[in-house]
A = this chain, B = another copy of it.
Amino acid sequence: MFSKACEYGIRASIYITLKSLQNVRVSLKDIAKEIDSPEAFTAKILQQLAKSKIIDSVKGPSGGFDINKKKIETITLTEIVKAIDGDSIFEGCGLGLKKCSEKHPCPVHNKFKKVREDLKKMIDTTTLYELSLGLKDGSTFLKH
């Protein structure tokens, strides 16, 4: 569904959200440990998210990553997915045709349309804030 990079990116974002709500900035090392991801690779992904202005990064001791508290409730999964995987997941044809459209559909075009729209709707309406709640109350997890 998503690339590994995107999976890490989403998991990291949810963790950063959780901590940001507690006014705590978190380091790469901390993030990688908490989401059980390769540190250096995760660094690259966080850089992408920072460049896309989804998260903020601060260098130096006591530096790390956080998300603006006011922004947290507005950030959706869609923004993160787009920043990392682009919009292949939204646009791509289910059977990989370069030109697949209503006018020139592949055999599964219509059947896929509904599934894809549901997926789109779901990630479009799911916020980081929302996802951090389960983490906070211990009902959901980011590793193992």
User: Which residues of chain A have a CB within 8 Å of any CB of chain B?
Assistant: 1-2, 4, 7-8, 10-11, 14, 77, 89, 92, 94-100, 104-109, 111-112, 114-115, 118-119, 122, 126, 131-132, 134-135, 139-144
Contact = CB atoms under 8 A, between A and B. Distances in A.
Given A1-B94, A94-B2, A134 B107 contact: yes
A97 to B, nearest CB: 7
Nearest to A116: B1
Contact of A131 (B8, B11, B104, B108): B108
Contacts of A119: 115
Given A115-B122, A119-B115, A140 B96 contact: no
B126 A118 contact: no
Nearest to A135: B107
Which of A105, A112, A119 is most buried by chain B, counting CB atoms within 10 A of its CB?
Answer: A119
B126 A122 contact: no
Contacts of A99: 144
Contacts of A114: 118, 122
Nearest to A143: B97
Contacts of A2: 94-96
A98 B1 contact: no
B104 A111 contact: no
